[in-house]
Structure 1
C-alpha cells in the first residue's frame, strides 16, 4: 500500500513579528545563507554559458551532465527556502525526460524550467546577492566597528561606531522587506509565469479527464458483464423454469413444484447478484449514512481489526463515492499484501478539504504505481485530489488522501 499525502498546509514565516529582535536575527541568518549561494551560482552560471556553444561536442555534453543537475539541486534548495518564507510551494515544472542520458541532455535545452534555473543563477550572483548582503552588512557593521574600536581607539573607529546606531535602525526597518523581496523574486523566476502554470494545469485536467472517461467506460463494461453473466442469466433460467412448470402443472404436479422451487432459488440468487452490482456502483449505506457510516460498515467484514476515526460531515455524493472506493481499495491492499495485524482509517474535513488516511502495521514496501493505488490516484485526480504513499520496508504503510471539497 502506499501513501499520497496531500500537500501539507504551509505556515508562512510572513509577516514577521514587527517588534521581534529574534525574528529579525533569524531573517538576517537566512540572508546570510542566501549570500553563501553567490559562489556556486556564479560558477554554475559561467559553466552554463560556456557549455552552450560546446553543447553538441562531447565535452559540452559531459559538462551538462554535471552542471544542469547541480543547478537543479541548488534551485531546489532556494525553492524550498523561499517557498517556506512565503508560505507556498514553488513548483519546479521540469519536463519528464526519462532516464536516458542522451535524451535528457537534448531535452534540457528545450525545457523552459531549465532556462528559468539559468536565470536564477545570475540573479543569485548579482542582484539577489546584493539584496541579501545588505541586512548582513547593516547588522555586522556596528559590531565590527566596536571590535576595531577596542583594538584601536582611533577617532575614525569611534566615529564609525557612533554611526552604527543609525545603521542598526536601518537594519531593523528594512530587513523584513529585503528578505521578502528576494523570496518573491525567486518565486517569480523559478516558479514560472502564470500563463505557463495555467497551461500545465490545463494539460493535467485534460489527462485526468481522459483517464476518468477510460475508467468510466471500463466500469460500464464491468457492470454490463456482471449483469449479463449473473442476474440476466439467472432471470432467464427463472423464466424457463416457470414455463416448464406451467406445462407440467396438470400432468405432473410434483415436477412442476420442483421447477417452481428451483425458480424461486434462482430468483433469490439473481437478487443477490443485483445487490452486488448496486453495491459496486454506490453502496446503499453510503447514500444513507454518508462516508463515515459506509467505512464503518465496510470494515466489519474484514479479517483484521480496523480502527475508524472519521469526523466528516455529509459531502457531495461524487466526492463521498470517490473517497469511499479509495479507502476500500487501500483496505483491500492491506488485507491482500501487507500481512498486517491491525489497520486504521482516519479523516477530517476542515470546511475546505477532505483529508483521509488509511494505514496498517504490515511489512510496508507498497508500490504507488501498482494497479490498485494507481487506480485510487486516478479516481481522486478527477476531483483535483492527491494521494501520497509512505511505506518504508518493514515500517507499515500510510496512504494519505486529500480532496478539495468546500462546503457552505
Structure 2
C-alpha cells in the first residue's frame, strides 16, 4: 500500500512535469486565441492570432525538446542525441569583413547573430522539433493530463459537496498517476531522435577525426622509435663495431688492450640488447601478446613504483582492444605518479554485458580534467576509435577516479 501511494505521488509529479513541458506550445496558441477574441473589431487581430504564436512556437520548440530529453534521460536513463548541425565558424577576410557562411558582416558578433537564425532555419532538426512539439502534445501531453484532470475533478467535487464526482475523480487521478507520464519516453525516442542522414554524417565526421588522430599518433610513434634507435641501440652498435675493429688490429701487438676492448664490446652488446628489449616492450609488451591484458596489467603493477592493487577477471579480447586498454592503464598510472603525487592506486578490470569496463582510482591530490590538448583528451580520442568512453571524477584534494568503457565481445 505504501509503495502504491509513493508511486502515485511520484507519478502525479512526473505527469505534471510532462504536462507543463509538452503543453507549453498549445497553451501559447490558446492564449493567442483568447487575445484575438479580446481584440475583436481591431484591424490587427491577425497579429496575435497567427504571427505571435508562430514566432513563439519556433522559439519554444528547441527548449521544449531539450526539456523532454532531460526528463527522459533522468527518469529512464535513455539518452536521445540532439542531432543539431554545428554552424560553420565565422572568419575574417582581408577586407576586414566577417563571413559566416551565408552573408558578410562588419563585426564577428554581428556575423554570429545573423548566422544563428539562418542556420537554425536551415537545420533539418529545427523542423523535426516543430513536428515533435505537435505530436508530443497530442500523445504524451494528453495522457499526462488524465491524472491531473482526475485530481482537479476530485478537488472540485469535494469542494461543491458532489462526493460521487469527487470519489470518481480521485480514483481516476490516483489510478492513472503511475502511468500518465510513461508515454513520453517511447514518443520521444520515436520522433525526437536524429534522422538517419544526420546520424550518418556525424559518424562520418567522427571517423574522419579519429583517422586523423590515428595517423598523427602513428607518425609520432614512428618518430619516437626512430629517435630511440638512433640515440640508443644504433649508436652503441656503431661503437661496438669500432671496438671490434680496433681489437682485431691490436690482437697481435697488444693482446691486453684488445682483451679490454672485447670486454667493453661485450658490455655494449648487452646494453644494446637491453635497450632493444625495452624498445620492443614499449611498442607491445611480450606478456601482453602471450598472456593477455590482465596478466600484462599485473606484471606492470609489480614493476610500478606506485602501490597498485589489481582486481580483474580472466578475459580474452581482440588484440587491438587489449593494446589500447593496456596503454590507457599505463598512462593513467603514470599520470597519478607524475602529476597527482599519489601513494597508491587500484585498477579494476571487468566485463559488463558486452563492454570492457576499466576503473583506475588513485589517492592523489585530484584536479584532473579532460582539457583541450591534454593527455586525457588524447586518451579519450584513442578510446573513441573503438566507440569507447572516458569518465573522469577528480575533485580537488582527490581521489581521482577514471572509468573507461569499451564495447567488445569476450570469450
On whether the aligned pair clears a TM of 0.5, the verdict is yes
User: Which residue of structure 1 lines up, in the alignment, with residue 116 of structure 2?
Assistant: 108
**2:18 match:** 34
Matched, 1:208 2:198: no
2:172 pairs with 155, 168, 174, which one? 168
Aligned to 1:10: none
Map 1:135-284 onto structure 2 (within 5 A). 135-137=147-149, 139-140=150-151, 143-144=154-155, 146-148=157-159, 151-152=160-161, 158=164, 160=165, 168=172, 172=176, 176=179, 179-284=181-286
- Partner residue, 1:4: none
Deviation at 1:83, TM superposition (A): 3.4
CA deviations over 1:147-187 (Å, ceiling 9, x no partner)? 14xx435xxx64x468669x839965x974x6443322333
Q: Cα offset for 1:328?
A: 0.5
Q: Which has the higher contact order (CA 8 A, sep 6+)?
A: 1
How many equivalent pairs are there? 366
Greater mean alpha carbon deviation, residues 233-242 or residues 364-373: 364-373
**Which residue of the partner structure matches residue 16 of structure 1?**
none
| Offset, 1:378 | 2.2
Correspondences of 1:242-391 after superposition (within 5 Å): 242-369=244-371, 371-391=374-394
Pair 179,238 (structure 1): closer, same or farther in 2 beyond 3 Å: same
Return 214-223 or 292-301, whichever deviates more. 292-301
Normalized against structure 1, the TM-score is what?
Answer: 0.76
Query: 2:234, 2:16 → 1: CA distance?
Result: 74
> Retained in 2: the 8 A contact 1:312–1:347?
no
User: What is the DSSP-based 3-state SS (H/G/I as helix, E as strand, rest coil) of the residue aligned with 2:387?
Assistant: coil
Change (3 A) 1:96 1:337: farther
Measure, in 2, the Cα distance between the counterparts of 1:52 and 1:256.
96
Q: TM-score, normalised by structure 2?
A: 0.76
1:81 to 42, 55, 71: 71
Match of 1:402, SS state, is strand
Distance 1:351-1:78 versus aligned 2 partners, 3 A rule: closer
**Paired position in structure 2 for 1:3:** none
Aligned-residue CA RMSD in angstroms? 3.6
